[in-house]
Chains A and B, each alone.
Chain A
Amino acid sequence: MEHRYLPMTAQDKEAMLKTIGVDSIEELFSDIPEKVRFKGEYNLKPAKSESALLKELSRLAAKNADHRNYASFLGAGVYDHYKPVIVDHVISRSEFYTAYTPYQPEISQGELQAIFEFQTMIAELTGMEIANSSMYDGGTALAEAGMLAAGHTKRKKILVSQAVHPESREVVRSYALGQSIEVEEVPLKDGVTDAGALKELLDGDVAAVMIQYPNFFGQVENLKALEPVIHDSGALFVVSANPLALGALEAPGNFGADITVGDAQPFGIPEAFGGPHCGYFAVSKKLMRKVPGRLVGETVDEEGRRGFVLTLQAREQHIRRDKATSNICSNQALNALAASVAMTALGKKGVREMAVQNIAKTRYMKQQLEGAGLSVEFGGAHFNELTVKLGKSVKALNVRLLEQGIIGGYDLGRTYDGLQGHVLVAVTEQRTKEEIDLFVQELAAFVQEKEAAHA
């Protein structure tokens, strides 16, 4: 068998078998009991040559409506943003992407320093004291925040706002089940967490309250008003924040958040059908030793040079096993690098500018929609998403938009009982005025059309 990934020649094989002292490779498998030996051959597609496979897979990819060919107004946690081209060039350096966890710091300073820089950038953006090296994604990061809070407070209930991403809420529930933690949802009022209802629900059993910022509807939750209510009960204040929004919005750390998590996908990471993205996890100092995942710390070498190492590893599974703070091992290092490069390219000024552009475009969309007689729900401040009332099938709208080269918004009726016929629309800096105008025009036409046309 010859293959470009298999360098052994027949002659090599002969020599090696001789050194081992066996006659065939087969002998090396003689310890597998006959009864469990796989007999026959895998029934799989045969191998394809490099060019034939490229051709086949590019055709398969072309079956999908991608965002180079379609203008996407779909957000709901994953966004089409400006990705500085440099990001992909950096993460394509194979010294980064073909390495593993930097357990040998002398030959992993590059990765370690990059993570240290990532931790710093996330801490800066969130206003938290400490950030870890990454988590799988925003949803599992939120779930881990819940577990941390339950362990820290020794309480067994979590309150999660209904304005938190529906899929993240489900992930929180799945993790909570394992830990026998109870999860209750805080209802909404005008598209934000109902502070009055939250107060009612809070008691001495609550370990954490989870608020998304901006929330699933793109509304900016008033963290300042919520914080004292939460802390008065002794619960931890957990914020799930879109890190891009933090270019314009006050940092959760400055409102007293104990844990801030989220996903760095808006920073240079492709949507990629939902993953891999890049969860982040940031905490106040008092929780440092309870953080899940890897932490990189600064130290010195024998000659006093600055260097970086994985640190506080006594929290982690490979040391602490069943007593670890989490089971997380490999997570999203390369995407944390991508996010770092994007945050660096955007820099202090660009992150703010990009965030403000999102607000400006969304505001423009809102004005156009309202000008066209459409009803935009919820009165509060928006980041880059809006809820529009159609009173009609979102699916039908999206079919129509697709014909115009547009990927439509998220059907809120899928996950919110009261919001059938409502669409969640995202407007990032990538959407041009022309695209927004077309979208509004199509939407208005769709809503005005007689119901019969689509029945």
Chain B
Amino acid sequence: MLKINGVYKTFHPGTVSEKKAICGVDLHLKPGDFVTVIGGNGAGKSTLLNLVAGVFPADEGTITLDGINLTHMPEHKRAAYLGRVFQDPMTGTAATMEIHEHLALASRRGKRRGLGWGICRAEREDYFERLKTLDLGLENRMSQKVGTLSGGQRQALTLLMATMKQPKLLLLDEHTAALDPKTAQKVLTLTQKLIEDQNLTAMMVTHNMQDAITYGNRLIMMKDGTIILDIEGEEKKHLTVEILLEKFAQTSGSTFSSDRALLS
């Protein structure tokens, strides 16, 4: 499904603040793969997802999705094939726009936007039903501004938007990190449900090792812009945090240093 081949990315090359963020990543995902991505701060997890999404171009290498070459495609065009949820609930939604307008925007992703109505009555009924499945009561406040919603509600709405058009790939970048534990759990459960219902291919960055083990059928660990661990199938099923830490020590020759990743 997703084929990342020999991708490199350096920020501010040739300056004092030069930063090699991705140093040769190869990653192939099969249709329906649900990959969790872990790694310390600055390992390059977000950069990898942003390269796939087209936030900035790769310096080298190619990225294809279901046979479509994304390498030189601008971000808004790639959006037709992708669903994205961000770490900050503010990023995925627009505070001054109404709830149903968000779903209308998402339903037009990948289509030509013209002079037809931005939202019509028939759609609203569909959105009512979709919002109802979230079980957050949002269906009764469809014309409220999203700025009035909590972080968890905004993430749930973003998830709904991201999965609405059955994306070829769902990109989740620590999308529960800004939420309190209870809300984070709810959003994770919803994520799992949406992925299973539509059999989506997904990449989920998380700083929580246990979540990385519990969810998905494959796990990759990143360090210094490369993938240092790639575990799938039966091996992934029997993984524990201890085994993971041990493997990390073996491959990288050091102990996992991010307290954040250990404690949460």
Do these two chains really belong together in a complex? no
Interface residues of B (CB under 8 A from A): none
Interface residues of A (CB under 8 A from B): none
